[in-house]
Every structure is written in structure tokens, then in C-alpha cells.
Structure 1
Amino acid sequence: MVLFAMLCRIDGLMLSESMDSTQQDSFDRTYREQAKLIFSKLSRVSEKAMTLDTDKYYFAYLIENDVCYLCLCEKAYPKKLAFNFLEELYKEFDTSYGSEVALAKRPYQFVKFETFITKTRKLYRDTRSQRNLSDVSFELRDVQKIMTKNIRDIVGRGEKLNDVNDKSEKLLAESIRYEKQTIALASQLFFKKYFPVIIILLFLFFIYIRYAYW
């Protein structure tokens, strides 16, 4: 089952959450802190979907429009259902509050969304229900291709989730720099080639003006 779910803007601002009231406070504190550590490692170049294994549970997260939708699930809970659950949160939240996210200033500004999260968690509680059996599709993504890591890789060693994208980010920066250099070189070649022509045309224009009005 889905034990809790949290929504966070990509810059670390908490937006909303729904916790399982049956869990002990120590459980909540432990996994809430791990969830916040995960949020702190995210950026716009992080993997858009990932699962992170813990001892008895796993985190699943989905990033859409600068919002991270994260849930903690029991180990045996189907990952396809977990991502279907996150997809439902994304669609509802983006429709209701998407235009307000960038303007949010205070933590948990969308606390009212907890009602929808809690209701949806209850719908996904029983993996054998007819609704969930028919919903195991996660049409937008192939769960088998979603990267899985161990939570120790993130929390223990402090590894950033966007490390896997460092090379592509550097390559993009190099590409942009090369493009700027190419444009600058092309401009230099243009002026070098046509500068004498421009000077002659300006000279002729000056002569024309001088004799036309004198």
C-alpha cells in the first residue's frame, strides 16, 4: 500500500502531503526526513521518474512542471500502481493549482490538496481491487525502464540524483559555447569580406549627398 505522499516544488518548497495516521511517530520522522533529503538533491536535470529502495519500503517519485510527486510504498506494492497513483496526483494538482505553483511563497500553501491525496491513497490501498487491476497501465511510461537506486546511495553517500545527467549537462554547455563562437566567427568573416565594399558605398553616398545639396 501507499504509506504517504508528499508534493514539493523542485527548489525545495513543500506544497502538500498526506500521511498514514496509523504509523508511529518514529516511522513518520525517519521516512519524512529521507523524503526531504531526496527533495534536496533534485534539480531540473534530475531523472523525471525514479524508485529508491529502502529496507522494507521504496520511494517512487515523478517530476512534472517543476513539481515532484513522491510516495512511500511497501516493498511488495506494484510499482506500476505507485506510478499510476503519482500520475493521478499530478493531473489533479496541475489542473487545480498548476498556474499558482511558481508564485507560492510559504510551505504547504496547497494544504487543501491533502484531501485529494488521502482519498486517492485509499483507492490504491487494495492492489486486488477491480479498479486497480484495470489501472495497471501507466501508459505514459514503461516502469521497467525507470531507474532504480538504493536509498543509501542518496542519503548515505550524499549522491545527487542529477549526477547521472552531469555529462549531458556539460555537453549542452559546450554545445552552446561552440554555437556562440561560430556566430562570432561568422560575423568577423562577414565584416572582413565586405568591409571594403561598405567603405566604398559610404564614400559614394557622401559624394552624392555633397553634390546633390551643394
Structure 2
Amino acid sequence: MATLCTMVGRLGDGLVLAASMEEESGAARMIEPQARAKQLLKKLHFNSPPRASLDAPPHVIHYMVEKDIIYIVVSDKSTSQERAFTYLQQVAQEFWSQYGDRVQEANRPYSFIEFDTTLQKLRRSAGARRRVSGIATIKTELRDVQSILRDNIDNVLERGASLEDLEMKGSNLVVQSQKYRKDAQHLNLRSLYAKAVAGSIVALLLILYFFVL
């Protein structure tokens, strides 16, 4: 399986927990895929599809969300969805078994940077299986891929930005609504006070008219 990078992050705040880059790909070639993977970590939220393959020419970004952890692999277009998600499932199992109880305590990027060693082993293992399996696995690779969302990375990032704008507008609307409610309550109190004062004046005048004058 031809992978450029693998990344593990926390759902909610997009904190990068671990990552591994393909050493043979070259640093310059890795800049854009790595940047897009980090962007995706920030945009995914609790209502996002749990699995998706996103076209990011000339690559494809596959991601999986499990137990509030995001697993991402950037691969070339020759890598099938079946292989990509089989690999991600293995990454998820290994990561959870080693760090599952410490994920929420992480407070800095790459808190589990040593997981890179495991990721390299899993990547080599996936490549070895590809070489020995050959044509015999083609039918297996077609299984269940229809259920995985296919989209474009730019569309997803744009929707994420739109969602953030919508959430901000919603928050502003709530604040304005609360301010309006407080202003309305203040005006009601002033109105009641004015009515009470007016009533008191009328009562005083009546008393003066009938009992004093």
C-alpha cells in the first residue's frame, strides 16, 4: 500500500497525537498532504461521517473516527478503499491498546510521538501483504466499499468553514436574544414602577380631595 503519511488526532479539538511520514517520499512532497491532513483534523466534528475517502489530487485522504479519535492516511490513487481502511483499523487497534486511557489527558501536539515506530511496522506489513496477495484479493477489496463516503477534500474543508460561521452566527444570535430579553425585562420593570407611581399620585389626590379639601 503506497502511503505518504498517517496521522492520529483527537476529535473535538483536532490535537495531533501521533504521525508518521513515508521517508522515501521526500520532505517537499510531504508538505501539502500533511497540511491537508491537519486541516481535516480541525474540521471534523462529532456529527461528521465516521468513515470517508476524500479526493485530494493527486492523492486520496482516507479517515476513520473511532472512540472520539481520528485516524487519517494519505495515499496515492492506486490504493483501494478496502486496503486503506483495513490499515486504519489496525492502526486504531494498536493505538487504542497502547494509549486509549491517556488520550483525554494529552495537552500538547505529538504527545505519543513514539507511536511512529508502530506505524512504520504496520505500513511495511500492509505493503508486504499487497505483494503476496495479488489478484486473489481483488474480489475481497470490492466488499462494503459502497458504504464509505466519497467526497472532495476542498468541499469538506469548505463545509467545515461554513459550519464554523454558522455556529458563530448562532452564538451571536443567542447573545443578542439574551440582551433583548434583559432589556425587555428592564423596560417592563420601569413600566410597572411608573404605573405604581402614577397610581400612588392619583390615590393621594383623591385622599386630599375628599378628606382634606
TM bracket (short chain): 0.5 to 0.7
Match for 1:103 among 82, 102, 105? Answer: 105
- Within-5 A mapping of 1:1-214: 1-10=2-11, 11-126=13-128, 127-130=130-133, 142-155=144-157, 158-160=158-160
Query: How many angstroms does 1:131 deviate by?
Result: 9.4
Query: How many angstroms does 1:3 deviate by?
Result: 1.8
Query: How many angstroms does 1:135 deviate by?
Result: 11
Query: How many angstroms does 1:35 deviate by?
Result: 0.7
Per-residue Cα deviation, 1:158-200 (whole angstroms, up to 9, x for no partner) = 222996xx9xxxxxxxxxxxxxxxxxxxxxxxxxxxxxxxxxx
Aligned residues: 160
Q: Which amino acid aligns with 2:50?
A: K
TM-score, structure 1 as length reference: 0.68
SS in 2 for 1:109: coil
Pair 1:36–1:71, CA change in 2 (3 A): same
Per-residue Cα deviation, 1:111-157 (whole angstroms, up to 9, x for no partner) = 1111110111111125232399669868xx922111110122134xx
C-alpha separation in 2, matches of 1:46 and 1:73 = 21
Q: Which amino acid aligns with 1:105?
A: N
C-alpha separation in 2, matches of 1:88 and 1:131 = 20
Q: Which amino acid aligns with 2:133?
A: Q
Contact 1:51/1:58 (8 A) holds in 2:
yes
Query: How many angstroms does 1:17 deviate by?
Result: 0.6
C-alpha separation in 2, matches of 1:41 and 1:9 = 12
Q: Quick one: percent identity of the two aligned structures?
A: 29
C-alpha separation in 1, matches of 2:6 and 2:149 = 20
CA RMSD of aligned residues (A): 2.6
Per-residue Cα deviation, 1:188-213 (whole angstroms, up to 9, x for no partner) = xxxxxxxxxxxxxxxxxxxxxxxxxx
Pair 1:4–1:135, CA change in 2 (3 A): farther
Query: How many angstroms does 1:45 deviate by?
Result: 1.3
If each structure's helix is expressed as a fraction of its own residues, which one has the higher value? 2
Alignment partner, residue 211 of structure 1: none
SS in 1 for 2:114: helix
C-alpha separation in 2, matches of 1:21 and 1:82 = 19
Contact 1:45/1:162 (8 A) holds in 2:
no
Contact 1:7/1:15 (8 A) holds in 2:
yes
Q: Which amino acid aligns with 1:38?
A: L
Per-residue Cα deviation, 1:36-86 (whole angstroms, up to 9, x for no partner) = 111111111111000101212100000011110000111011110000000
Query: How many angstroms does 1:107 deviate by?
Result: 0.9
C-alpha separation in 2, matches of 1:114 and 1:8 = 13
Contact 1:80/1:136 (8 A) holds in 2:
no
C-alpha separation in 2, matches of 1:4 and 1:132 = 26
Pair 1:119–1:162, CA change in 2 (3 A): farther
